[in-house]
């Protein structure tokens, strides 16, 4: 490899890992029929003049496998939190008990499970596209370096390194998708 021309593989790998981490966060928000505090992460509440995540307005607990509870700290926010959950598209009907909002998680039917696996596949495809964009950036860096005097052998070596990084990252995405789809389809 050329001493004076270096491609930052660590930066490319970090950016690809970021796409995978983002995918895992999106997967956590998908309901699988089991209660999870992570399913409320994408829900934002209009509170104190700005959009706020639910976990900053109350304590989120999972006391049993099919129940999530939110103990809202400010009584004035209970109605807003409840409304945000109803409008979130999670398909959950909140029940109030003072400042505690209970979210019973209904059993998923077969049709809904299939829809959720399609949504998971879309999330995975977005992650793959993000990883390929990082790969393209890496290949562009290599082309610029070739213009700056990188030998053809070094260019091929760097291109194979970037492609190996890409293949490993996409394999991680595929494995995460397979796991999530099995989790969704499990009755």
Altogether, the residues listed in the chain come to a count of 187
Q: What is the CATH number of domain 9-27+109-185?
A: 1.10.132.20
- pTM (global) more than 0.75: no
Q: Does domain 34-104 have CATH number 3.30.1360.40?
A: yes
Task: Judge whether 26 and 36 are in contact, CB under 8 Å.
Answer: no
Q: What is the mean pLDDT of residues 147-169?
A: 92
All structural domains of the chain with their residue ranges: 9-27+109-185, 34-104
Q: Residue 31's pLDDT band (boundaries 50, 70, 90)?
A: low
Q: Residue 163's pLDDT band (boundaries 50, 70, 90)?
A: very high
In angstroms, the CA 170 to CA 45 distance is 34
């Amino acid at each position: 490899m050329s001493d004076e021309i270096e491609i930052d593989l660590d930066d490319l790998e970090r950016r690809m890992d970021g796409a995978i981490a983002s995918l895992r966060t999106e997967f956590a928000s998908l309901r699988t029929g089991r209660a999870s505090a992570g399913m409320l992460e994408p829900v934002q509440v209009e509170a104190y003049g700005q959009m706020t995540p639910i976990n900053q307005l109350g304590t989120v607990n999972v006391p049993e496998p099919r129940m999530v509870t939110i103990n809202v700290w400010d009584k004035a926010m209970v109605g807003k939190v409840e409304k945000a959950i109803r409008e979130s598209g999670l398909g959950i009907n909140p029940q109030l008990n003072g400042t505690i909002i209970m979210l019973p998680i209904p059993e998923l039917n077969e049709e809904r499970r299939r829809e959720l696996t399609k949504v998971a596949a879309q999330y995975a495809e977005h992650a793959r596209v993000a990883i390929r964009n990082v790969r393209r950036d890496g290949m562009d860096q290599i082309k610029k370096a070739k213009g700056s005097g990188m030998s053809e052998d070094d260019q091929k070596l760097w291109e194979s390194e970037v492609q190996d990084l890409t293949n490993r990252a996409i394999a991680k995405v595929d494995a995460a998708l397979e796991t999530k789809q099995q989790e969704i389809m499990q009755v």
